[in-house]
Amino acid sequence: MTEPTVLVFFYGSYINRTVLREVDLAPERFEVARLDGYDISIRPLANVFECAGQTVWGVVASATQEELDRLYEHARNVLGGVYLPCLVPVSTESGTEAALCYIAESLPEAPASADYVDRIVRPARELGFPEDYIDRLESFLPPTGEKEEA
């Protein structure tokens, strides 16, 4: 018997299929979606928060509860972020549906690494996210051209 799947809205590095494969997750459904009324922050990990008038772009994907438990255990134990599921309405080309969205109540504040932001920006471009949203993601890149202290 196959374990049932649920819908989940991914918005950070989990929009990157390569990152998902690293934790043995290959969703059958993987569709561009948006979450209205939220904004994104990447400091140093991606997180979303309620913010009227803003939109977060991502993907709605199918996953089993075991796969999600494994994925977010990795986020907690390896990345240091405790994300908890919330049910949110996401919009796709075919309409609006409910999906789980994992949100951290609090995260350590630090600049994002360029590599981490790139793992989000590259698939965002490939998936056709709006250019102004990609600009928003790139705004979290660390400043370049700064002299390093010897």
Counting every residue, how long is the chain? Answer: 150
pTM, full prediction? 0.91
Residue 3 has what pLDDT? 86
Residue 144 has what pLDDT? 76
- How many Å apart are CA 113 and CA 111, to the nearest integer? 7
Q: What is the pLDDT of residues 54-70, one digit of tens each?
A: 999 999 999 999 999 99
Residue 149 has what pLDDT? 42
Assess if residue 147 is contained within a domain: no
CA angle centred on 125, ends 82 and 112, rounded to 5°: 40
Strands 5-10 and 95-104 turn out to be parallel
Assess if residue 127 is contained within a domain: yes
Question: The domain containing residue 45 runs over which residues?
Answer: 5-138
CATH code at 84? 3.10.490.10
Assess if residue 15 is contained within a domain: yes
Residue ranges, the chain, pLDDT below 70: 1, 145-150
Residue 98 has what pLDDT? 98
Question: Which residues, in sequence order, are CB contacts of 73 under 8 Å at separation 6+?
Answer: none
- The tally of domains found in the chain comes to 1
Assess if residue 143 is contained within a domain: no
